[in-house]
Structures are given as C-alpha cells and as structure tokens.
Amino acid sequence: METESAFPVVIAEKALHTLVCALQKAGYRVIGPILRDQAIVYDELDSVADLPQGWTDEQQPGSYRLKKRTDQALFGYTVGPHSWKKFLHPPHLRLWSVSRSGNEVRFSHDKTPIQKYAFLGVRSCELHAMAIQDKVFLQAGHEDAGYHQRRNDSFIIALNCGEAGGTCFCTSMKTGPQATSGFDLALTELLSADRHEFLVEISSQIGANLMHDVASREASAEDLATAANILARTAENMGRHLDTKGLKERLQDNPEHPRWDEVAARCLGCSNCTMVCPTCFCTSVEDTADLAGETAERWRRWDSCFNSEFSYIHGGSIRSSVKSRYRQWLTHKLAHWIDQFGSSGCVGCGRCISWCPTGIDITEEAAAIGSTAPPPEDTS
C-alpha cells in the first residue's frame, strides 16, 4: 500500500455503489458484512444492497442479538462472529499435493488462480488484527507465501466505528476506534435526519485511482468535526475495559492463581473463542492419501489450543486439563504474545466474550488473575 495522502472527501451514500462496482470491474471479489443465520457475517457482496442496512447488534457476554435500527445506517453495528482472517488465513487450505510412482515422487502445482479481495468495512481493531497476523505469517525466512500474496493483493476499505458494542474494549488495547493505518480508503458514516453521506480518507494510490470514478466533494471543516465527534462518542461508549498496565507480568507470574480453577469450571473447552478471534492463528496439518497410496495431499486447517489433541505427543496430551488450556490461551494472548511478536495478541474486539457459550469475559478473567496476590499457602 503506498502512502500518498489526499484530502478527505465526502461522497453520497449512493456513491458507495459506484465504488463497489469499480472494485468489481478491477477484478476484486468484494467482501463485506451481510446478514445471514441471524448474525452479521463477512461474505461476498454482489452490490451495496447486500449490506445489512438498518440493522444493529446487541452484544453481551454469551449473547449476540440483531435488532432493527430506527435509521437506515449501512454500518450501524459492530463486529460479528467472522473476521477477515477467514479470507487471508483460510480455515481449510491445501498446502500441496504429491504423486508417487514406484520410488519416484512428484509435486503437482496448484493452478487455481489467485483471487484478489477487496474488504469493505474493516474496523480499526481488525486492521490491527491483520497487522498482528502479518507478524506470524511473514516472519523473515519463514514467510507463508500464500498469505503474503493474499494480503498484498487485498484492497482495504476501513470503517471508523460509529457504535461501540457491549463487549468492545479497543480503547483499552489502543487499537481503535479510529482507523489510522493499513487501509486504502477509510469511511466514516455521516448519518442524520437530513443527510446520509460518507467521509472518505484516501491513503493509497490505488485508492485514489478508484475514487476518480466516484462523485465526491472536498470535505468541509464541519464534516471533519462531525466525524471526530462520532469517533469520540464511540470511544466513550466501550462496553468493556481492560487494564493492561503490568498485565503481562501478572499473568506470567501467576500460573497457579486460584482463578484458573474457577474459570476452568465454567469453560467448556469448546474453542469458540479461538475460532472467532481475529488473531488466533493456530493450525494443524492433515496428511491424506488415496487408497492406492499413489497420491497424497497436505491440508492445513484451523486448530485451537482448547482441543486436548492440540498438545498431544506420544503418550498423551501435555495440557489435558481445561484449566491448563484456558491458562495457555489467555496467557499466550495477553502476555507471551508480547515476547513472541512485540505486541499483545488481543485487539479488544470482544468477539471471544460474545461468542463464549458460558459468557466468560476475557477482561474480567485478566483483571482477576494477579490483581490481588493469591492466598498464602496453607502452612498449618
């Protein structure tokens, strides 16, 4: 992404349609929020008409409900169960296939054309999540070539959040709500009784080129102030808060805190939190062969540290208790990640809270562990 900045412009709601058409014409599969199975998920858009206009979501620990809005906002909701990782880091991917004839072995090359994606409506927390996954998959010397290509080819239209959800805490993680980098275009939805427009920030040459075909006017100081007010209001309405000061040490220094037992009693080990998390990257490979043993394939699929087989070595699983698996997940996400990749693995999107079937709240657990010294050992 080049970093040519242009002055922000304002486009009419209807002009979003022109933008999506321009992307499709340029060969992009446009992915955005759509309404399906009573949730707002990410999938291919045929047109802007597929966006969940006039809908919002209400999120609480273990609860996600859609509701009609009183207005016609196109992006009047927060994040749902999907994240963009399902496109950049696909849940199920063939890594290679190989055939064998006697002792001769030959790899066959995948000729599936690479699909270019345009992502519409990427929140600031999600931009941060992408940057975090970049550090995992683009490590010097061990680059995931497929990920690199999908990522480089993607066109990103960010969205400054006009609403904060009940489980959101991006302000705690310093990942939002304003999109500050990592996008081609960034939208702020300006909606009131007498207007429905978008403020558009342009931060790449490709973005600028696409905007040539879209009717726009220069943004006024008033437009910019309105957008800033929207972001300020969103930042003030976070449903959750996480105190990150000293959190890494609190978690790493308390592997035997009694709270781990308490949370383990509520955790089903279902792995929902890791599936909806936009940064969780763990995978397993599956090697398969045809019955004759002549062709074989390697597939990679998302896995989770909540599955007991995840830590299997001959003889058994290292982390056989749910307590140890929850401890692994939380400590990795909020503490070890900093040692490994230089930032927290949490972006404060709140998905793991909303989609936990028993409503376990990461902010509550993190605050409880190490916030007070564990009780002294019984010496009687």
Nearest approach, Cβ of 338 to other proteins (angstroms)? 8
Contact predicate 174/118, CB 8 Å: no
Decide: is 75 part of the binding site for other proteins (CB under 8 A): no
Decide: is 256 part of the binding site for other proteins (CB under 8 A): yes
Residue 177: asked if its preceding bond is cis (omega within 30°), the reply is: yes
Tell me whether residue 100 or residue 266 sits nearer to other proteins (CB atom). 100
Round to whole Å and give the CA distance between 113 and 125.
30
Q: Is the dihedral of CA 14, 19, 22, 27 positive or negative?
A: negative
C-alpha 315: how far from its chain's center?
35
Nearest approach, Cβ of 337 to other proteins (angstroms)? 9
Nearest approach, Cβ of 370 to other proteins (angstroms)? 15
Nearest approach, Cβ of 313 to other proteins (angstroms)? 5
Listed ranges 18-26, 44-52, 80-88, 101-109: which one lies at the site for other proteins (CB under 8 A): 101-109
Decide: is 246 part of the binding site for other proteins (CB under 8 A): no
Round to whole Å and give the CA distance between 200 and 149.
26
Nearest approach, Cβ of 357 to other proteins (angstroms)? 23
Q: How many CB atoms lie within 10 A of CB 131?
A: 15
Nearest approach, Cβ of 323 to other proteins (angstroms)? 8
Nearest approach, Cβ of 339 to other proteins (angstroms)? 4
Label residues 208-235 b or e (16+ Cβ within 10 Å = b). bebbeebebeebeeebeebbeebbeebb
Nearest approach, Cβ of 9 to other proteins (angstroms)? 39
Decide: is 352 part of the binding site for other proteins (CB under 8 A): no
Round to whole Å and give the CA distance between 181 and 158.
9
Contact predicate 247/175, CB 8 Å: no
Task: State phi, psi for 120 to the nearest 5 degrees.
Answer: -110, 120
Subset of 273-292 contacting other proteins (CB under 8 A): 281-285, 287-290
Decide: is 310 part of the binding site for other proteins (CB under 8 A): yes
Residue 106 corresponds to which tokens in the numbers above? Answer: 């030959």
Round to whole Å and give the CA distance between 282 and 136.
10
Decide: is 24 part of the binding site for other proteins (CB under 8 A): no
Decide: is 308 part of the binding site for other proteins (CB under 8 A): no
Listed ranges 6-14, 208-216, 232-240, 304-312: which one lies at the site for other proteins (CB under 8 A): 304-312
Q: DSSP characters for 115-147?
A: PPEEEEEEEHHHHHHHHHHHHHHT-TT---HHH
Round to whole Å and give the CA distance between 49 and 222.
29
Decide: is 370 part of the binding site for other proteins (CB under 8 A): no
Binding mask 116-155 for other proteins (x = CB under 8 A): --------------------xx-x--x-x-----------
3 state DSSP class of 297: strand
Nearest approach, Cβ of 32 to other proteins (angstroms)? 28
Q: Which of 44, 340, 357, 358 binds other proteins (CB under 8 A)?
A: 340
Subset of 161-200 contacting other proteins (CB under 8 A): none
Q: DSSP characters for 320-359?
A: -SHHHHHHHHHHIIIIIHHHHHSS-S-----HHHHT-TT-
Listed ranges 31-39, 152-160, 222-230, 311-319: which one lies at the site for other proteins (CB under 8 A): 311-319
Tell me the site size for other proteins, rule CB under 8 A. 46
Q: Which residues bind other proteins (CB under 8 A)?
A: 96, 98, 100, 103-105, 107, 136-137, 139, 142, 144, 252, 255-256, 281-285, 287-290, 293, 296, 303, 305, 310-315, 318-321, 323-324, 328, 332, 335-336, 339-340
